[in-house]
Every structure is written in C-alpha cells, then in structure tokens.
Amino acid sequence: MLIILVTYQAARWSTLKPELLTNIAAGLFIAPFVIFSGIAGQLGERFDKTRILQSVKALEILIMLVAAVGFLEHRVVLLLFALFMMGVHSTFFAPAKYGLLPQVLNAEELVGGNAMLETGTFLAILLGTLVAGVLAGHANTSWIAASLVAIALLGFGASLGIPKSVAVAPGQRLDFNPLTSSLDNLQAARQSRSVLLSVLGMSWFWFFGALVLTQLPLYCHDVLHGDESLVTITIVMFSVGVGVGSLLCERLSGRQVEIGLVPFGSIGLTLFAVDWVIATPHADANVVLTARGLIAMHGGVRTLADIAAVGVFGGFFIVPLNALVQQRSPPQALARVIGANSILNAVFMVAAAVVGAVGLARGLRVTQLILLAAAMNAAVAVYIYTLVPEFLLRFVCWLLMHTLYRLKKIGNRFPETGAALIVCNHVSFVDALVISAACQRPIHFIMDNAIFQAPVIRSLARGMKAIPISPAKEDPVVFEQAFESAAAALRDGELVCIFPEGRLTADGEIAGFRPGLSRIVSDTPVPVIPIAIVGLWGSMFSRYGRKLWQRLPRKLWSRVVVNVGDAVAPEQAEPAALREYVLALYAEGFAG
C-alpha cells in the first residue's frame, strides 16, 4: 500500500523521490532479519512454536494500529516505523513457522507441506496486492486503516487454531547480543555443507526476487507508463506463478525431497527473465496504459506469461531447498538454522535494495536491472552447482526419469538414516542414475575405473562421489583403495552401492555375484539392501543388440521399476543367497 501510494501520489506523501523511498522501505523491512534472527532462532528451539506464533500475531495488531494512524495522518515516518516493526514481526515468525513443519508432518508430507506454505504465502501477497490496489486507487485512508487492523485481528484469530507443539530444546541458552546470537545460528547452519549451501541458495533466490519485485511499480509506471492496475496484475501473475510452481513440486518430485528441481528452477528464472525484457511492449508515454490495454498490445500477454513463468520456476527453486534444510538439519538445531537462513536472506535482500537504488541512481533503466538479475542468476547457478554437484546430478536423474523413462518404486523404502550396502543387478549404463532417482539420500556407487576415467563421465562420477575399482591383477592399488573408501563411507553412516555381477549383463540374465561384497560387510558390518531394476534391458543404454539403432527407445516414458527388498543382516549376506533374493525381486518387478 505504501509503495503504491508513494509511487503514484508522491507529492501528497513525501518530498523524497519514489525510487529512493521504495528502496528505503524495502531496506527497513529487511533490516530486523539481520538484527534479530539470532535470538529468534534460539527462541524457536527453547519454547513452544505455537505460542511464539500466537504471540507474534498479537503483536501484529498493535503494529497495524500504528500503521492506521500513519495512513490517517499521512505520516510517512510512522508508516516506515510500522514497516520496520512488521520486519521484526516476520523475523520471529519465520523460525517458528518453518520449524513447526517437521514436527507435525512425516517425510512424505514434507515437500507438500512446504509447497502449501509457499503457495499460501504468495497467495496472501496476491490478495494483499489486489486489496492494496483497489484501496490505493480510491485513496480513502479510513478504509486503508480499518482494513489493516481487521486483517491483523483475523490473523490472530487463525493462530489460535494452531495445534500445540513441544519445545525441542527447552535448555537452549538465550543470547540477546545480536552479533553473538547470529553467529550461533550461522554455526548451526554450518554443521552440514549441503544445508549451508541450500540456505545460501535460498538467500540468492530472495536477492533475485527482491531486486525484481521491488522494481515492479517502477516498471509499470516508468516503462509501461501505466496506472495502479498494472502493478496489481504483474504481482498477481508472479504470485500465482509461485503458487502453481510450489504445488507442482510435490507432483514432479514424487512426494520426496527432489533437489533435482533446483537447477531446473534456476534455468527457468534466467530464461524467462530475459524473455520478459525482450517481450516488453513499447508503450506511448503520453497515454496511461491500463491492464486491459497491456493485454491488447503486441507482446503484452507474453510479458505477463514471462512474469508468471519466473514465479513458477521460483517455486521449483525454493520449495525443494526449504524441504532439504528441514530434512537434513537436526531437530534440536532446526530453528537456529532457519534463523541463520533469515539472517542471510536479509543480507541478500538488503544487498538487492542497495543494488537497485545504486543502479537507478547511476542511470540504469528498470529493464536493465532485470537483465542484470538474470545474468547474475546464471553466474551464481553455475558456481553453486560446481560447488555441489549433487544438485546437478539429481537434475540429470530427474530429467532422465521424466523424459525417456517413467520410474516406479515398489517394495520397501530405502533407509532414511544410517549406513547400508546396496546390492543390485547391473542392466545398463544408467543404473546408478535410476537408483539415485529412486532414493532421496546420496549414494556412493562402486564403478569400474575404466568407465570412471572416461572424459564425459568423470565429472558426473566425481559429483556422485563414486568409488572407482579395478581388478586386483590390473591395478592392486585402486582395488584396495576402493574397499578402503567404501568402508570409510559406511563408517560415516552413508549408503554404498555395489553391482556384484562385476559387469553389465550381455544377455539380460543376472550373472553370479562376486565375493567383493562379502569383504565389504566383513570389514564394515552393515545391513545389506538387495534391489532389482526391471525395464532397462533392451534400452539404448544396455548391451542389447549390436547396433545402436536396435536399442533406440521405441517410446518415451517407458516404465522402469526399482524393487527394494528387506534388509539382510551382514552375517547372512552371502553372495549366492543375495543373488537368489535379487532374482526374486526381479521377477516381482515385472508384476509390479
């Protein structure tokens, strides 16, 4: 509401330029996240999250009363103070909100829960924007004030329906020093490299989003020369896009935490942001453009579609990262990790406000800022996926399982925690990718050193943390290192997979299992998980047929089944018995 009014009725509200005031407002809202997120994360672990949420919503009523006076009296200073306090409100709200999900949802519901949470957030932005546009158009500050207080009261009433939770770390020490409490939160996030980099990824998304969204009123006013209705429709398209993308995440990820969607999201963010600028119509500065007028113009519908697509791919980007952080963070540290996420989000969003303000002050046009955001997003994406190849690997797995093949997993679940040795029949060159697509956890695959060293495969194999092995007669050093690496991974509580046939099947049959797996479980006794892959024999990645054209896919989305058996105790993990188990699973796979 404030941004719309100062953009379109600047003279009545402030002597500052709208461009400057817009970025000041964004900075004030974000600053509390930097200052108070540390203590907010500690509070989220020490106390019942439901009580925190209800207390914050009660505070919102008081803040909205201050905002109401600001609107009635046309006092921008009061409104900026209320905006700052809403930043404080949101700082304490976030750790409790996101930290509550793993306490009330099981693993299969976590992605869906985050998808609904993000959808609800952006639909709230959408509805708030629609109401703001209508009320700002009438410029009736009494209605504005009454609406804000009424919405705060409704929010508090809704919070009373949140089920009770329990404190996960009632002994957590509270540190009211902003610096040391923030460092404590950041230290909690650093315990896991994948969690820390996921937090950085989410922070980058909010940099991108803040840089783009903050400029939307100026884009509509200065580039399209439109009225308030254009601000409304552009934010509507973005918000609906994020909601749709978030909800699609659950379907596209198969109800599991699928970080392969993150690279897909980053690619879409860049491509559609660039196309948005290209598609922007050349509007007449002497004619006030309305939403209906934009739709009628050449490139208008494409512009709105691009804005919606940026939102959709933003949903693909942010939902899996949120779920991954919740899944891989210890419960007693999750609120502090989310506090660290809030701190870094805030720093990145303040940086976005600075970039926006400086860029505009130096003469950059709004469209140039959007292009800058797209270019920076591409560079950051390449950097992140170089640091964490797991994201790119999961994207390759997801792409394979949603184009050439259609994956169906039957039988038992892969173990969610703890070490295990996976044994599987070896049908094709993409067996490791299929197994990775079926399992949420990273897996160390033992693979032939000659294949491991192939130029194209080497980078992917290293990203998978594959373990190269050679026959003892060819290279005894690599042979011994493979068993040492497998033992080390299992001691660290990770999953290791071996294809005990030792080679790809040449006739579709499952060959005898070699004794290497016995040595692994002898050195490091862990449960053995037998699995069978069905549906890849005869594919272009198998050794079926001498000529490539004989192995080309006959149709897209061919069904591939991964059948997971019961865990076998290490003392019973004999190669011959395990082969019989895998044969039985293979036969079941055809029926499944």
Q: Which of 173, 158, 151 is nearest to 67 (CA)?
A: 151
Give the C-alpha distances (Å, rounded to integers) separating 366 from 149, 211, 378. 34, 10, 19
Calpha distance 488→156 (Å, rounded): 52
CB 317 within 8 A of CB 247: no
Q: What is the pLDDT of residue 551?
A: 52
The pLDDT value given to residue 456: 66
For 524-536, letters b (16+ CB in 10 Å) and e give bebbbbbbbbbbb
What confidence score (pLDDT) does residue 74 get?
82
Nearest to 307 by CA among 212, 373, 378: 212
What are the φ and ψ backbone dihedral angles of 407, each rounded to 5 degrees? Answer: -85, 135
Which 8-state DSSP code applies to residue 252? H
Domains and CATH numbers, the chain: 2-162+181-388 (1.20.1250.20), 403-591 (no CATH)
User: Amino acid identity, residue 42?
Assistant: Q
d(CA 58, CA 63): 9
Those residues whose C-beta lies under 8 Å from the C-beta of residue 245, and which sit 6 or more positions away, are 265, 311, 312, 313, 314, 315, 316, 319
Return all residues near 448 (Cβ < 8 A) that are at least 6 apart: 468, 469, 470, 503
Q: Tokens 């969003």 correspond to what residue?
A: 349
Closest CA to 56 of 25, 94, 113, 103: 94
Contact 543, 505 (CB under 8 A): yes
Do 33 and 343 touch, CB atoms closer than 8 A?
yes
Residues 526 and 421: beta-carbon distance below 8 Å: yes
Q: What are the average pLDDT values for consecutive 10-residue runs of the chain, which has 592 residues?
A: 68 65 77 86 88 95 94 86 92 88 83 85 80 74 90 95 84 82 87 85 88 83 84 84 85 72 89 94 84 87 94 89 84 85 85 86 88 91 76 78 83 90 92 88 88 75 83 88 93 94 89 90 93 88 66 64 93 92 91 68
* Contacting residues for 314 by C-beta, under 8 A, at least 6 apart: 205, 208, 209, 241, 242, 245, 265, 269
Name the token pair of 100: 């509550």
Q: Write down the pLDDT at residue 552.
A: 56
Provide the token pair at 320: 């899996």
The side-by-side arrangement of strands in the sheet containing 443-448 is: 405-411, 558-564, 528-534, 420-424, 495-498, 443-448, 467-469
Q: Is the CB of residue 267 less than 8 Å from the CB of residue 313?
A: yes
The amino acid occupying position 351 is A
| Residues 172, 42: Cα–Cα separation, whole Å | 7
> What was the pLDDT predicted at 454?
78
Contact 233/291 with Cβ under 8 angstroms?
A: yes
CB-based contacts of 140: which residues, under 8 Å, 6+ apart? Answer: none
Q: What is the pTM of this model?
A: 0.71
pLDDT of residue 574: 92
H-helix or E-strand spanning residue 81: helix 76-104
What are 530's strand-pairing partners? Answer: 423
> Which residue is listed with tokens 């190269």?
468
Amino acid 13: pLDDT:
66
Angle (nearest 5°) at CA 421 between 398 and 513: 100
Kindly report the number of other CB atoms within 10 A of residue 6's CB atom.
Answer: 25
CB-based burial of residue 473 (10 Å sphere; 0-12 exposed, 13-18 middle, 19+ buried)?
exposed
| Backbone φ, ψ for residue 405 (5° rounding) | -130, 160
Nearest to 570 by CA among 496, 505, 480: 496
- Six token digits for residue 502: 């030792």
pLDDT at 550 (0 to 100):
53
Q: Which amino acid is at 257?
A: V
